Structure 1
């Protein structure tokens, strides 16, 4: 088994420090962040930085040049100190932009998350509302609002935030839809994590980078629009703002041109700094997977085996019983296409049942029906899926979430796609154990190390700190198996668990599954098209064709005397008779062989 590459630290605190280091190492980002920090500090502590009041007019100081009469940047047409108005005006301009940004991100971000992840009627309704908002001319809406609510800067920015929320909604919705179908999201759902946890943990990690860029754009536009309204004289004239200063400076541009320069410079530099910081922060967040060599950890003890099975009857050991299962998908024309037609299936504790068939036979749809994880549009049309006597098809979403991962686990066929690239392996192993077993983070991490050691990973501490792209496919599959058994499930559904692996690794994974199944006394439903895997692992076999189980029986019996023509066809496809080839003889085979190492 190959070793992993040098790995990064897996803790959230270390990742946060890495983000800060990357941000500070970006020259433009560091300078822009420093400038924004100075602006925020200056407007916050404005009374300490100027002896003048921003609204006090001294007529004798009107249009004073910089430095005259104790005015650092001069005085405006009413004799008010420009430096004081710049500081105090920054408070209202920045707070107004922050208000618009908050409304836009909260309204647009939350609705985009729900619409992109859940969809259905809310997606249709929210998408229509966003289209209407984007069609409205912002300035016209703000002018109309002013005639109703008066020249309130706060109400204007709140309304402008609602208008801008449409762009946030569309961005978030599109990003969430692109990640919703990722296999690692399905893997998290199979592990028993609730939709809320999946959204907060996996989906938001993908959404955050585009949201940061969009937030900088919204803040800049809000500052510019607010300044534009005040420049036109439509803002609250009692408040010192940068737009109001532009209005006053423009009216006196021939007498004191610098009155326009100061607020224009403040607006331009703040907007530019916001953009630079957003780009640098986006790059820092996307680069948190930089490599760092960890300290090796000693091997840990193996996971404890489940108690040995007692002398229970066959019926008492039945954990899964599928009766007359029918699965269908809704079509755009309103009809329903049925893909599974009345499947019956039984899995007992401690046995491996193979579900065999070619692609499109319905075996994966049957397995997903047990997990209640059919793709969008799919539904159980009839029959029952009895889990220890309870019909899974009738359970609520909350009840089904408690079953997945804790009682029924799943091992997929694409190991690399079922691990979230944004999180370390340890983080993804720890979370389901904390949810289902109630372990502390330290306890869950210790158990994760035991599990990695049990599934044959030689350096569990190093792999625990690794990101998915830093391990091989075989090791990733072992990680997924460790995660599947982490909550001691009673049934393991393995969907083509060796298809994406080379032959040597396949054999190791099959040996591991066989050992774990016997050790933990699990029932296993093995979905496969490979009769070699069936012969190696399965106690009983069910053969599926076109959504129907056409033949079933003990593995040995089926291999010796199968009856259905489709089963015979499958065997013929993999056991096609052929002449035995002659041993390979290289050219000049009669020549004297060279010693090993000779040229």
Structure 2
């Protein structure tokens, strides 16, 4: 059974509400079978008569069967409410999603229209609509749906605007998913709980308003509805006071059941306290012995030992900046990034950056916070924040110019040409989905794999990034795994569609020292096995020494020095680079252990 259904069944209040609502709806749908009498057939001789054979609720003032009018009237009342709710959902939810996610002119225009509609008095509009369109219930319900659509718009827009800048939404964009797919999968799930509650409230409001209009005699008098029955019962309350009981009970039970069921369903959907999946027996893979004679390198920038114990290859250097004869995978020339300011001016934050990454090498982009490293990386990925744009220069990836591409063209490159490993691994995983679901989605979209094929590939990728129990991790949610494991999952996701260029933005910042070393060794091994070009954005010179072949040092939006990792770390040429090296505390003397001060007498 579905976990949501199990949690819902364990909620006694929700279970009772669902049973009552199901009974009401079923009775209304089966009205012709439960009460075959025509609800409009009257016999004045039976006026106000009590229960009789085949007429368990008796007759009204016109001699019409009360049960038949109650059941058939429920069809009209509930059907009108469903119509109004459908109109409100179709108008309010999609427009709120687009306005909250995209913003811009559509958001402004939609907000203006919503404020205008909400300023209109609903009852006056309904009365005017009745005068123009006639007393038809369905027409009035369509108008009511338009009037209550702004409540869904404002709810959805506010929720989406608060989640669109979450890191897991950015991670989905970088994986190459379309905006519509991101909205449907990662954004809509965030607003589902408030939408469920709002739907129940609006449905109750639609039922109440419709009954109120019929009670006032505004609706069609010939059509049986619960509101019309209330009107008649109130008119004859002194003679037959029990007539008001049945439509009032139907209205009250339906509205209360809707709200209670919506609350229980919201709790069931948002509950994350499911028991962890059963652990499968772990299978250990024997680690091959290191190659005889292989010793770790002590030269900064010479690389780290890979998973088999062999020393990772370092490209041969034929020029001072470490260039060689291999093909240029990434070439950045004269890159400028600017942001539009509120006063109409533009501020440049990256000034003429030149950068190269070749196949099979790791290039470190180093600098202090605010130096422009991430802005450069985001320019290559085409995911600059709102207001940012490439204002000059050229960016080519695998021989193709990508500066100035549209979002759709950039999206086609992400995942299978350019991939991204972000920092803060836990924030880049959607808490609403399992690890397996998040790994499989880009592969199904970008590579066209079936669910079974994507699952097999995801399990294999988790093994490649040295996760020993991939089946358990596939079934886990992000909060059930550690930060180091989450970073390995992100690396697995980045290489899942076989990219050529991998951009890693501070991939070890949020990890402890031991896990940092493991992640760097993993990146180096994957880069060697797949011949990846890697741009490693970092401020940590220890990471540069462990992983990078070449280094570009960045300061205030400019590249101030480039060269091999060995040259930059051992004999830097720029004063800023020397300042960065002087700030490293690795060579500082060890502090003496703390000892309590001796008491003096």
TM-score by length of 2: 0.91
The equivalent residue for 1:3 is none
In the TM superposition, residue 337 of structure 1 has moved relative to its aligned partner by 1.6
The equivalent residue for 2:417 is 407
The equivalent residue for 1:269 is 253
- 2-structure distance, mates of 1:360, 1:280: 47
1:21 partnered with 2:6:
yes
In the TM superposition, residue 396 of structure 1 has moved relative to its aligned partner by 2.7
- Deviates further, 394-403 or 276-285: 394-403
> Does the 8 Å CA contact 1:297/1:461 hold for their aligned counterparts?
no
In 2 relative to 1, CA 412–572 (structure 1 residues): closer, same or farther, beyond 3 Å? same
- 1-structure distance, mates of 2:592, 2:261: 68
SS in 2 for 1:394: coil
- 2-structure distance, mates of 1:129, 1:585: 68
SS in 2 for 1:393: coil
Q: Deviations over 1:303-348 (max 9, x none)?
A: xx9xx9999x956611111111111122222222211111111111
- 1-structure distance, mates of 2:586, 2:55: 96
The equivalent residue for 2:35 is 50
The equivalent residue for 1:528 is 538
The equivalent residue for 1:220 is 204
In 2 relative to 1, CA 199–53 (structure 1 residues): closer, same or farther, beyond 3 Å? same
> Does the 8 Å CA contact 1:113/1:173 hold for their aligned counterparts?
yes
The equivalent residue for 1:323 is 333
- Deviates further, 385-394 or 262-271: 385-394
- Deviates further, 276-285 or 192-201: 192-201
> Does the 8 Å CA contact 2:40/2:64 hold for their aligned counterparts?
yes
> Does the 8 Å CA contact 2:92/2:153 hold for their aligned counterparts?
yes
- 1-structure distance, mates of 2:590, 2:250: 83
In the TM superposition, residue 561 of structure 1 has moved relative to its aligned partner by 2.0
Superposed, 1:149-548 pairs within 5 Å as 149-287=133-271, 290-296=274-280, 299=283, 317-548=327-558
In the TM superposition, residue 559 of structure 1 has moved relative to its aligned partner by 1.6
In 2 relative to 1, CA 439–300 (structure 1 residues): closer, same or farther, beyond 3 Å? farther
List alignment gaps of at least 5 residues for structure 1.
1-13, 588-599
- 1-structure distance, mates of 2:93, 2:195: 8
In the TM superposition, residue 292 of structure 1 has moved relative to its aligned partner by 3.7
Q: Deviations over 1:560-592 (max 9, x none)?
A: 2212222122111115975x45765979xxxxx
> Does the 8 Å CA contact 2:337/2:390 hold for their aligned counterparts?
yes
After superposing on structure 2, the runs of 4+ consecutive aligned residues of structure 1 that deviate more than 4 Å are: 297-302, 308-311, 313-316, 575-578, 581-587
SS in 1 for 2:583: helix
- 1-structure distance, mates of 2:411, 2:222: 56
In 2 relative to 1, CA 44–287 (structure 1 residues): closer, same or farther, beyond 3 Å? same
The equivalent residue for 1:34 is 19
- 1-structure distance, mates of 2:355, 2:29: 69
How many residues are treated as equivalent by the alignment?
566
- 2-structure distance, mates of 1:502, 1:582: 21
List alignment gaps of at least 5 residues for structure 2.
288-307, 317-322, 597-601
> Does the 8 Å CA contact 2:117/2:147 hold for their aligned counterparts?
yes
In 2 relative to 1, CA 445–562 (structure 1 residues): closer, same or farther, beyond 3 Å? same
TM-score by length of 1: 0.91
